[in-house]
Amino acid sequence: MRSIVQGALLNGAAKPLLFLACLLPLAWLVYAAATNQLGANPAEALIRRLGDWTLRGLWLTLAITPLRELAGLAALARFRRMLGVFSFVYASLHLLAYGWLDMGLEVGDIAADIAKRPFILMGFTAWALMLPLAATSFNRAIKALSARRWQALHKTVYAVSVIALLHFIWMRAGKHNFAEPAVYGVILAALLGWRVYRRITRK
């Protein structure tokens, strides 16, 4: 069974299929916005759902290594970079939707809002930290930076995930709605905890 799954993951169609799958949430949101299916406050719904897909993309990216090792599926590693890039794409669209639909693309107002509201600051910080990761997500960047430096840089994804979760928690704190952030928090704790465990047991 493992060899069948491994073969499917190595198939040339696997990456294009993942690419299309990553586009599906965006396609649905565009369709829902065009057909007025985003509820009474479509702008808020669009912003939040783009943020949700950013978190899901980040968590999936972090899940690749544990799944690869636990399931013995080395081919999973070839999808990690694409998932990471799509996480950045959704984060950028989330930021753009906030800046456009909430703030009318007024740079001064956006800057003031970032300085005034901690959860906005956390979200912007997470996006800013993702920017160099996305910018160096190609093979030539690895050669330019050296593999060691590239790996050190891309380990900041752990900080990004924690900051993104704080952004989500503080955003929901205004409505005292912590159920969904708690689920994301438990998953992240498991993903990061597994890495800590592996580091300790390998010594």
pLDDT at 173: 79
Six token digits for residue 154: 């891309």
pLDDT at 50: 97
Q: What is the pTM of this model?
A: 0.94
Residues 6+ apart with CB under 8 A from 98: 47, 120, 123
pLDDT tens column, 9-41: 888 899 999 999 999 999 999 999 999 999 889
Q: Could you tell me which of 143, 8, 7, 164 has the C-alpha nearest to residue 84? A: 164
Q: How many CA atoms lie within 13 A of 89 on its CB side?
A: 13
Segments making up each domain of the chain, as ranges: 41-62+80-202
**What is the Cα–Cα distance from 48 to 29, expressed in whole angstroms?**
11
Mean pLDDT of 54-83: 94
3-class DSSP state of 153: helix
pLDDT tens column, 144-190: 888 889 999 999 999 999 999 999 999 887 777 788 999 999 999 99
| Amino acid making up residue 66 | P
